[in-house]
A and B are shown apart, each in its own frame.
Chain A
Amino acid sequence: MIEAAGRATIRRLPEALANRIAAGEVVERPAAAVKELVENAIDAGASRIEVRIEGGGVDLIQVEDDGGGIPGDELAVAVERHATSKLKDERLVVIETLGFRGEALPAIAAVGRLALTSRTPSCPHALCLAVEGGRPAPPRPAPGALGTRVEVRDLFFNVPARRKFLKSTRREGELVVDVLKRLALAWPGVAFRLEVDGREAFRVPAESEALLGLGPERLRLVMGRDFLENAAEVEAERDGVRLVGLAGLPTLSRNHGRLQHLIVNRRPVEDRLLRAALRVAYADLLFHDRQPLAVLRLDLPFDAVDVNVHPAKAEVRFKDAGAVRGLVVGALKSTLARHGHRVATSVGGAALARMRPNVSAHASAPVGLAEADAAFAFQAPVGGDEGPWVRLDGAAVPGPVPVPGVEGPLGTARAQLFDAYVVSETGRGLVLVDMHAAHERIVYEGLKAELEAGGVRRQALLIPDVVELEPPERAVLLDHAGELRRLGLVVEPFGDAVVVREAPALLGQAPLAPLLRDLAEDLAETGEALALERGLFAALSRMACHGSIRSGRRLTLGEMDALLRRMETTLYSGQCNHGRPTHVALDRADIERLFDRR
């Protein structure tokens, strides 16, 4: 019962309670505790980290490393709030370690039964410090190897409210797996092992610097087996900011963004800016609701990024966000342009799987690095990686047309099926081409190039459209007025609203108010006028669809070859305007396997 009991007095909270409240910021669930403890282990220079959890991490979390250990006389200090060995720069500008606030251990100690066992090289035995509900007992000698082992039992035993809001044991366990996989992705030089309720969930070795130092084993673990084969390398560097990563082919998309991993200075983060960059780079290649796969690692000077903006450090803030975005978008776009005609091999794999209903689903042998490289080489466009037709702005430049009879990567046309598909034979196997989808992309890229060359024509409005907007929407639109003008939209301030004076003629009489609102959102989020480009490209796309050959049209071999050759020199010819694959490759080996010849 709530009673009208007069005014409550203001009082200072007991320290233990205050610590428990603060702990909730850092440790909101078992996975968060695991993250903090594993980051400590990494900061301690571990080369091998083993994690065990029981009961979703509530019953037990144990993190064991082979790092430098904690000297005996520092053990007790380690579990006090705001005690850390890591922060060397008290201005918080240069933060080189994952942790720096001195919050993790005391926070965990405040909400669980903590045992900290550690041994440094100079000490003949390990020391163990037990903490319960924030009160440490004196350290006592204990057996233990070099490094640190942290054990947390009965997490949230004294915070019933927190415990009540945990998800199922299974779900909490999955979240721990996710956290650890992300850390493994960020630290290829460290071996990781996770045991859930006595069973090994995964294990990855410490990996060398192969594949841009990203660690192929962990990529396969986190991103799935198809990813390595169907991703393109991204590499760029500018002003001390270095980007490496792998960008999935557009045809390998998903309907969720969970396979977009972003690592900033070795810290797995959720970052709107990087996600937005992905959206911009893939804007014209994917259906609206599809999400690309990507692993991107950004390394930049420690003082160019602020990691101290989120209690769990899941977000970062860049000093020069525009430059970082530009670098990432530019690198992704040029990579995609180079690999734009590739179609995910998983598409062909799926087709093959359908063809052998009687064979148990024995998947093809795991693809090694060498094979992946070979696939890259095969799929590379005519003229090598840096062909003269690659332009970063996405416009297609007519490239060299191969001499007829000389086979390109898409091979020689052999036949047409169902008046809709072209069958072509290549050095490696056969390729099936959806001729309408392929031609549509070719026509579309042509129209886009025409638009870029000729400029966007603007229809002046006799009755200017006054659009009421929220102040931030209005501000961001007017800030980008110059760029919008280039895309055919002339906006000016009009009291608290904006007035549209001229609109792209290509859009006809489309209503402008919704377009402006979408634009404001895009500009605020990504800095690019995606909605407008999308509107223009959608108009082009409709024209492309009408202007391209339809199924039902019979082609001669010469016409089919010409289509293949144009696909090879057209940007993004791997998918049609709607994101569907334009062709599927089947390896000769796979075909032979269908007939048990291999």
Chain B
Amino acid sequence: MQRNANRTKPMKLVIERAALLKSLSHVQNVVERRNTIPILANVKLDAQGERLGLTATDMELSLAASEPARVAEPGMTTVSAHTFFDIARKLPDGSEIALEQAEGSGEVTLQAGRSVFTLPSLPGDEFPAMAFEDLDVRFRVPVEDLKRLIDKTRFAISTEETRYYLNGIYLHAAKAGATSTLRAVATDGHRLARVEVDLPEGAKDMPAVIVPRKTVAEIRKLIEGIEGEVQIAVSPSRIQFMLERAILVSRLIDGTFPDYERVIPTGNDKAAVLEAKPFADAVDRVATISTERARAVKLRFEPGRATVSAVSTEAGRAVEEIDADYAGEPLEIGFNARYILDMMAEIDGGQVRVEMANAAAPTLVRDPGDAGTAYVLMPMRV
């Protein structure tokens, strides 16, 4: 510790609590609760010019943000991210926070009003930096489009680690007829979600990449409540999101995403159009009866109507009928209720179109009011 302490450089600044919290609350999120490398539990503080930079990393992704501050002595250090955040959070509204580290000291002093905290620090130059390498392709995406790409697919991301290449969103440029699109796809092997937006200028040559689940979650939090555009830079191994006050750099999943287009059915000839909300509500109600973990519900389509039902030897039976625009042969098909509900939560239009082949084959679900989205569900069989 002593050896480290001698290398620390002085730093001194004052920052408003509100400004600090705005960035720190995002940045500390990246820090894992448990770390084998001590410095990864810390946030890097970098006082330069009239700003305080805050950086955290888990070696897979790195989030840097900065806020205006009154810097008396420019310098760099690191302190425990979660402790620093908790202190800042508990300080009263409107506080001004003074941070100071003496040259050669292994401690940072934090003072606000009559509170003084002394936190152990590790030298800032030992903080692992994620190289901002030359990223081949740069383009700008409207925040609304980015939200859409994430929201409509992330529920289908797999959490099962052996098929690691499914643990993220597959982002790539695609062609939908004559128009070029930026497309996001996620699947866990039981269901799949696909959504596309207009291809931004400059994204034509982007490599197809798999963005890890944690990165997806972090960038989604960062763009909540903001407007405008996000600049994205991408190479085959990295992706970088640049916002006004923050930069997120992340490694990408090194793997091959399955050829998803092959599993999206194109010839399903039994189509039903349902009112979205009554359908979702019926599934939710009927699934109350499915006590087991895999909550199975059965859908029966007949001309003019659909029946949602569930049977449990312990909890009884449930049946609910809903209107359906269906003209084909009667068809019975089972699904995991949770899969239906996850998907229905992302259907914004008033209606949903269910295209089926038979009780064993992939079923395609579309939002008639949103041509850019498609969902595939595999049936459950009893």
Residues of A in contact with B (beta carbons under 8 Å apart): 446, 449-450, 453-455, 457-463, 465, 502, 504-506, 508-511, 513, 539, 543
The answer on a CB contact under 8 Å between B187 and A462 is yes
The smallest C-beta distance from A461 to any residue of chain B, in angstroms, reads 6
| Additional pairs, 11, CB under 8 Å, beyond known A450-B292, A462-B263, A505-B296 | A454-B312, A457-B334, A457-B381, A458-B381, A460-B380, A502-B381, A504-B294, A506-B292, A506-B294, A509-B159, A509-B189
| B→A interface (CB under 8 Å) | 158-163, 187-192, 258, 263, 292-294, 296, 311-314, 334, 336, 360, 362, 376, 378-382
Whether A510 touches B293, Cβ cut-off 8 Å, given contacts A458-B381, A462-B192, is no
- Give the complex CA separation of A458 and B296 in angstroms: 10
Chain B residues with CB below 8 A from A509, complex form: 158-160, 188-190
B159 partner residues in chain A, CB cutoff 8 A: 509
Are B293 and A461 in contact (CB-based, < 8 A)? no
Cβ–Cβ contact B313 & A458, under 8 A: no
For A458, the chain B residues whose CB sits under 8 A away are 380-382
A463, B187: Cβ atoms closer than 8 Å: yes
Q: What's the minimum C-beta distance from B331 to chain A, rounded to whole angstroms?
A: 15
Q: Is the pair B294, A460 in contact by a Cβ cutoff of 8 Å?
A: no
| Docked-complex contact A506 and B191, CB < 8 angstroms | no
Judging by beta carbons under 8 Å apart, are B313 and A462 in contact?
no
Say yes or no: B381 contacts A513, CB within 8 Å: no
- A446 to B190 CA separation, bound complex (whole angstroms): 28
A510 touches B160 (CB 8 A): yes
B294 touches A508 (CB 8 A): yes
The closest CB in chain A to the CB of B296 belongs to: A457
A-B contact pairs, 27 of them (CB 8 A): A450-B312, A457-B292, A457-B334, A457-B382, A459-B190, A459-B294, A459-B378, A459-B380, A459-B381, A460-B190, A460-B362, A460-B378, A460-B380, A461-B189, A462-B189, A462-B190, A463-B189, A505-B293, A505-B296, A506-B293, A508-B293, A509-B159, A509-B189, A511-B161, A511-B162, A511-B163, A513-B162
Question: Given that A506-B293, A509-B160, A543-B293 are known contacts, is A459 also in contact with B336, CB under 8 Å in the complex?
Answer: yes
Residues of B within 8 A of A461 (CB): 189-190, 378
Determine the distance from Cα of A263 to Cα of B161 in the docked complex, in whole angstroms.
47
CA distance A555 to B186 in the complex (A): 49
Give the most central of A446, A458, A462, A509: most B CB within 10 Å: A462
Beyond A457-B380, A460-B380, whether A505 also contacts B294 by CB under 8 A is: yes
| Interface SS majority for chain A | mixed
Nearest chain B residue, comparing its CB with the CB of A459: B380
Report chain B residues within 8 Å CB of A513.
Answer: 162
Residue of B nearest to A513 (CB): B162
Residues of A close to B382: CB separation below 8 A: 454-455, 457-458
Contacts of A455 in B (CB 8 A): 382
| Alpha-carbon separation in the docked complex, A513 to B379 (Å) | 22
> Once the chains are docked, how many angstroms separate the CA of A539 from the CA of B187?
23
With both beta carbons as reference points, the residue of chain A lying nearest to B359 in the complex is identified as A460
Bound CA–CA A390/B376 (angstroms): 45
User: Distance in Å from the Cβ of B114 to the closest Cβ of chain A?
Assistant: 44
Point out the residue from A457, A463, A465, A502 that lies within 8 Å of B294, measured CB to CB. Answer: A457
Q: How far is the CB of A162 from chain B (nearest CB, A)?
A: 50
CB distance from B145 to the nearest CB of A (A): 26
CA of A454 to CA of B313, assembled, Å: 7
* Closest Cβ neighbor of A465 among chain B residues: B189
- Least distance between A180 CB and chain B CB atoms (Å): 51
Task: Name, among A446, A458, A511, A513, the residue most crowded by chain B CB atoms within 10 Å (CB to CB).
Answer: A458
* Contact indicator A462/B294 (Cβ below 8 Å): no
When the two chains form their complex, are residues A463 and B380 in contact, meaning their CB atoms are under 8 A apart?
Answer: no
When C-beta atoms are compared, the residue in chain A nearest to B260 turns out to be A463
Contact B376 A462 (CB under 8 A): yes
CB distance from A41 to the nearest CB of B (A): 59
- Which of A457, A461, A543 has the largest count of B CB atoms less than 10 A from its CB? A457
B134–chain A nearest beta-carbon distance, Å = 34
Bound Cα distance from A436 to B10, whole angstroms = 60
CA A505 to CA B335, docked complex, whole Å: 10
A489-B362 Cα distance, complex, nearest whole Å: 18
Closest A-chain residue to B263, C-beta based?
A462
Most buried by B among A454, A455, A465, A509: A509
A449 vs B292: C-alpha distance when bound (angstroms): 13
Say yes or no: B160 contacts A511, CB within 8 Å. Answer: yes
